[in-house]
Chain A
């Protein structure tokens, strides 16, 4: 297990290096200059030149990359042009907000989706199955910003149950923090559970058709036992893979949801950095997101043998 983990982490290194090189080149290929953006239309040629020199943007691109990569290897992601603070703590601060929302939402979505998909498959063709499939399809079709705005209007504005703007961190005030996270979490639960339900149902349908399920039933085992002991563990593995992919994808930033609910998360940081051409933050975010994706998938792979004994982590 340890060897497998180390091997996976080592194979991630070239990926990270390639990503850093690609992102570095791409952000500089995009037109727009951070100094000009910062100074706006009131900038003079002299003030732009001053600022570019202060930012180190007057150096050759290769020299800039060399400096940056050396710093990264030392664990320093550089300094944000926009906020004039180190990138690493800024990233971590924003990531904790995104992670709190995403992990909670994906966990709840999985807890809803897996039983719903399993029961729908068990009663395939019934009204329950049709209802579950229809709901899942509807949820998959709804864009997250629309769902967010809908919840904002209904739960926030019409009912007045939840706050419509602002953010309180759980660390500073647990109760208020949970209240402020409720709507973004609910939005993601609704949007993401659709695809998980479909996957759970499809996987369960396949397993339900297998001979050992028929054998279990023939032995006279009650249906709840058949489902819990023989169908669920075998049908869960593909859903678990999908949960990993969804988790990795969402942890990379939920910019739209963060924008609608004014959450100071990683996605909004990245989008703001792109508009401001804040190169160190863009590069740091992309590298961090890649790293998180690798870690999440490694975590999923390490747990896979628990659900599917045929898989061995080696």
Chain B
């Protein structure tokens, strides 16, 4: 028989082991609750905002850095590191009053000297900032003068009034024109890492694997709820991981196993993932635009009646239903459906009318010539599906359309050179409608990538880039929309819908208009 003291000690040891295990589990659970893992399909290119970049790079770096202004939920540029922005009566001088008490990740307080240093660095050709040409006179504006008259004030003077100046400063591909601390670069000017003012700071980037960030404890959030890239931006988790998972099946396994908390998923996966009961699906219409573009300088497609026949032959609603699994909403306008400028005018799109299409085809004198439609099979866009359905619809009215499926880099090069007849093409999100129209409008002789070469449209666009009054801009966008529907240089089909698969323990995550993840104001709850 076991002596009672031994039995007691054994029992105590067992209790101790159990308690220890419970404590360890609690610690592990708490640690897990402090870590949020977001899966991204491609690795970032660098941590240098607006320099060596792509969409994922922008999304990741904008968790660490901020600019004077940022986009709000409606795609309008609003103060971020600036407290206020004042425009001079002549529309050329912007005075930014900076927020007080904003600190960089290294603890230093931000002042106008940092804004000036950052701006000068961006405009130095050695930096290779992606947006230099937007501000040196080759793009919409030229920044003629920058000043920092006192620690809280930064002044920028441009050569002519521009409605897009702030919107361009806030652009994701410009890295939000982030204000950085000098410690971000070495003595030789070489990039080290982002020392910014954002809600998270960089811990580690393991190329091809993961970007790890930690909470910026001294982050000064704007008040209120999250509002695009502005508003409340509190970091609510201790550790943030952007995990590179290239394969969709692995993403799914990661979501279901709990190794991934949030991931963008395809529309076709929504029902299946929802049915597991382990995930919530959140959606939002974005400014990303799925289109069919027509080369108006092509001998065949230069004929307006032929382009109109193509537009009339396509049943946008059916295409959108099919390629978005019923989640997309048809929109034939360059103005995104979630934009503040999307009104009843923009809702008036192409009318599906096969009879009219056949009549237009006869008017155009079409004799069965082959029209090639370029497309690609990137999994993140419905280009291929769109092209297959569109081909069937166009063939049904007698158009001889052939699909040429090519790799994305090849298609992009042919787009840039204007070397195509038709393309199933997706444009990344442009939050201001003027930027959307700017992407397609312009002289093809100088800018072969431009889709719509019409001096009258160009004049309207130029005007929309100058005037700042929303009502006046609305009129211009309405006019542009009507012209686009009549001339058919492009057939916009719909704005992409983003789907986020979110673990049940995650609270506060929502996709939005700009189609980029925002992981501030997102928390992770411990398991009960």
Contact indicator A164/B439 (Cβ below 8 Å): no
- Measured between beta carbons, the chain B residues less than 8 angstroms from A39 are 130, 173
Cβ of B250 and Cβ of A260 under 8 Å apart?
A: yes
Task: Give chain B residues whose Cβ lies under 8 Å from the Cβ of A82.
Answer: 45, 52
| B139 touching A84, Cβ below 8 Å | no
Q: Which of A99-107, A190-198, A264-272, A283-291 contacts B (4 or more CB under 8 A)?
A: A264-272
Contact B414 A31 (CB under 8 A): yes
Interface residues on chain B, size class: 35 or more
Q: Quick one: which of A193-221 are within 8 Å of B by CB?
A: none
20 contacts between A and B (CB under 8 A): A31-B414, A32-B410, A36-B413, A39-B173, A43-B449, A45-B446, A45-B448, A46-B133, A47-B130, A83-B46, A83-B52, A165-B243, A165-B257, A165-B260, A166-B210, A260-B249, A264-B206, A264-B207, A268-B246, A277-B409
- Residues of A contacting B427 in the complex (Cβ-Cβ under 8 angstroms): 41
Residues of A with C-beta under 8 A to B132: 47, 50
Within 8 A of B (CB), among A7-35: 30-33
* Complex contacts, B46 vs chain A, CB 8 Å: 83-84
Verify A264–B209 contact, CB threshold 8 A: yes
Contact pick for B139, options A31, A44, A275, CB 8 Å:
A44
CA of A36 to CA of B245, assembled, Å? 24
Closest chain A CB from B132 CB (angstroms)? 7
CA distance A164 to B244 in the complex (A): 13
CB of A160 closer than 8 Å to a CB of B: yes
Q: Is the CB of B208 within 8 A of A38?
A: no
**A90, B410: Cβ atoms under 8 Å?**
no
Q: Is A149 in the interface zone, CB < 8 Å from B?
A: yes
Question: Chain B: which residue is nearest A48 at the CB level?
Answer: B416
B37 to nearest A CB, angstroms?
A: 9
- Identify whether the interface residues of A are mostly helix, strand, loop, or mixed: helix
The distance in angstroms between the C-alpha atoms of A85 and B46, with both chains bound, is: 10
The answer on a CB contact under 8 Å between A149 and B249 is: yes
The verdict on B39 contacting chain A, using a C-beta distance below 8 Å, is yes
Given contacts A42-B428, A47-B133, A261-B250, 17 further A-B contacts (CB under 8 A): A30-B410, A33-B409, A39-B173, A41-B425, A44-B447, A46-B139, A48-B416, A84-B48, A84-B52, A157-B256, A165-B254, A166-B209, A167-B209, A259-B246, A262-B246, A262-B247, A275-B407
Chain A residue with minimal CB distance to B257?
A: A164
A33 to B260 Cα, complex, angstroms = 34
Contact in complex: B413, A41 (CB < 8 Å)? no
Question: Does A83 lie within 8 Å of B413, measured CB to CB?
Answer: no
Interface pairs A-B: 10 shortest CB-CB: A32-B409, A264-B208, A165-B254, A46-B133, A31-B410, A164-B253, A46-B138, A164-B257, A165-B259, A264-B209
Residues of A bordering B, CB below 8 Å: 30-33, 36-48, 50-51, 54, 82-85, 90, 93-94, 149, 152-153, 156-157, 160, 163-167, 259-262, 264, 268-269, 272, 275-277
A32–B411 Cα distance when bound, in Å, is: 8
Structural contact, B415 and A41, CB atoms closer than 8 A = yes
Q: Quick check: B45 and A38 within 8 Å, CB to CB?
A: yes
Chain B residues with Cβ below 8 Å from A94 are 208
Q: Which residues of A contact B432 (CB under 8 A)?
A: none
Residues of chain B with a CB closer than 8 A to A166's CB: 209-210, 243, 259
Q: Residues on B close to A: CB < 8 A?
A: 39, 42-43, 45-46, 48, 52-55, 128, 130-134, 138-139, 173, 206-210, 243-247, 249-251, 253-254, 256-257, 259-260, 406-410, 412-416, 425-428, 430, 439, 446-449
Q: State the CA gap A39–B428 with chains docked (Å).
A: 11
With A32-B412, A45-B449, A50-B133: A165-B39 Cβ-Cβ less than 8 Å: yes
In the complex, the answer to whether B257 meets A156 with C-beta atoms within 8 Å is: yes
Closest to B446 in A: A45
C-alpha gap A277/B414 in the complex (Å)? 15
A269 CA to B254 CA in the complex, in Å? Answer: 22
Contact A42-B209, Cβ < 8 Å, known A36-B416, A272-B43: no
Instruction: Check A32–B250 contact: CB distance below 8 A.
Output: no
With A259-B246, A260-B249, A262-B246: A33-B209 Cβ-Cβ less than 8 Å:
no
Nearest-neighbour CB distance to chain A for B139, whole angstroms, equals 7
> Could you tell me if A41 and B446 are in contact, using CB atoms closer than 8 angstroms?
no
B240 to chain A, nearest CB (A): 15
Q: Which residues of A contact B254 (CB under 8 A)?
A: 164-165
How long is the Cα–Cα vector from A51 to B53 in the complex, in angstroms? 12
Q: Are B416 and A33 in contact, CB atoms less than 8 angstroms apart?
A: yes
- Checking B39, B45, B449 against A83 with a beta-carbon cut-off of 8 angstroms, the contacting residue is B45
A157 to B252, CA, bound (A): 10
Residues of A within 8 A of B207 (CB): 83, 85, 90, 93, 264
Which residue of chain B is the closest to A262 with respect to CB atoms?
Answer: B245
Contacts of A30 in B (CB 8 A): 410
Contact A262 B209 (CB under 8 A): yes
B253 contacts A156, CB within 8 Å?
A: yes
Residues in B whose Cβ lies below 8 Å from that of A149: 249
CB neighbours of B250 from chain A (8 A)? 152, 164-165, 259-262
Q: Give the nearest-CB partner of A43 in chain B.
A: B416
| Chain A residue, CB-CB nearest to B253 | A164
Q: Determine the distance from Cα of A44 to Cα of B439 in the docked complex, in whole angstroms.
A: 9
User: Known contacts A47-B133, A50-B133; is A38 also within 8 Å of B53 by CB?
Assistant: yes
B251: nearest residue on chain A (CB-CB)?
A165
Residues of B within 8 A of A157 (CB): 253, 256-257
**CB-nearest residue of chain A to B414:** A31
CB distance from A154 to the nearest CB of B (A): 11
How far in angstroms is the closest Cβ of chain B from A312?
44
Chain A residue at smallest Cβ distance from B171: A42
Q: Which residues of B contact A33 (CB under 8 A)?
A: 409, 412-413, 416
* Contact, CB under 8 Å: B407 / A32: yes
Nearest CB in chain A to that of B139: its residue: A44
Q: Taking the nearest CB of chain B, how far is it from the CB of A186, in angstroms?
A: 16
